[in-house]
Amino acid sequence: MAVSTPGWRDRLRHSGVVLVIVAPGQGAQSPGFLTPWLEDPAFARRFEWLSTVAGLDLVHYGTRADADAIRATEVAQPLLVATGLVAALQLFPHPGDAFERIGAVAGHSVGEIGAAAGARVITAEQAMVLVRERGLAMSRAAAITPTGMTAVLGGDREEVLARIAEHDLTAANDNGPGQVVAAGTLEQLAAFQADAPTKARLVPLPVAGAFHTQHMEPAVAHLGALAGSVSTHDPRTRVISNRDGQVVHDGREVLRRIVGQIAHPVRWDLCLEAMEDLGVTGILEMPPAGTLTGIAKRALKGVETFALKTPDQLDDARDFCDKHGESAGLNLTPTWRMVVSPGKGTFHRSEQAAASTVLDAGAVVGDVASTRDRVSVTAAHGGQVVEWLVEDGDLVSPGQPLLRLHPEGAA
């Protein structure tokens, strides 16, 4: 019979320290940034393997290629993901140890693919195939119509968003206070430049197209067709989604969101809110680092950050992880499945779930209500109810386990 265990539930709530690992998106790369990393033979071997999987000479692009060459979408995206994945193995030589320290992972735009692989949703090889195809498909989509992106720095947030909408542009990246990226056709961006919001500085970005807008729909279709054949596993730690800042703990849903995100705005502001709700105390950014830790310093006052840029920082980075690391509490045993909260709010159990000892795949467990929205929670895989870890009406945090299930048919 299912029972509630308040003592265990209390231990699963975050305590004093929470470490979040983040992976940067396109634009973080710079000429030669990989040179010091490739001096390590182990890094070089692993990196060359992922380069082979991607079908690109990423060693060349990371060391000798110029800024224009590594700006190309089909090059930049595999280069960033491969770097993050191999650097993670340098940071955590025994990958299983990472999940005793990492409270959550998140990636900005293409960084989500690296974050998903780091959380064991997909393999490194699957990640490289997906990112290769993502880059190629987005490059092809960008060639259909002349489009671009412009960063809007400063200004009143409401006025900035209203002016973007007036010019039929999309707020493709909402990176937090004082940093929104508008995207659309070059004509729309030119008109927006001439009608800039008050006290805002507009900076055209050197990108090939309007990423994370409807202009990328052809790329979504291509990657979605490929993703249907990709096997996934549920993540070993919390994955914070760019789409809405929700914590996702179903592998298929993580992958589905990564595909859809190609043509959907990046809400990094909501990812930051989720980190704050988790009680984050430390954020470590994988190389080429600096962009996301810079945003975090402005948005999350009092949270320590570490930008891992070069291999001589690895010992200090490990100390940083030891200082802030604490398990997400999700990997309890391979025969259990957890249903977790997608965000912060009040949990309301559904009548069906409250009355059932066995839940079908996709059954509604309840919902989490916050001041912003009310999000339904489902048992993606179904199974026998082992125990509820929260009560109806409890306040919950992002990624907090709600219910423990035993898969039907498991030994």
C-beta atoms surrounding 404 within 10 Å: 21
Distance CA 102, CA 251 (A): 18
Please, which residues bridge with residue 143 across strands?
none
Which residues, 6+ apart, have CB-to-CB distance to 271 below 8 Å? 106, 240, 241, 242, 245
Q: What are phi and psi of 40, to 5 degrees?
A: -85, 120
Active-site residue identified among 14, 51, 109, 350: 109
Distance CA 110, CA 80 (A): 8
Q: What is the DSSP string of 61-92?
A: HHHT--HHHHHSHHHHHHHHHHHHHHHHHHH-
Q: Which of 387, 330, 329, 396 is nearest to 353 (CA)?
A: 387
Catalytic-residue membership of 222: no
Q: At what angle do helices 217-227 and 124-142 cross, to 10 degrees?
A: 150
Catalytic-residue membership of 109: yes
Active-site residue identified among 212, 215, 222, 381: 212
Q: Which of 372, 383, 280, 370 is nearest to 339 (CA)?
A: 383
Active-site residues, by number, are: 109, 212
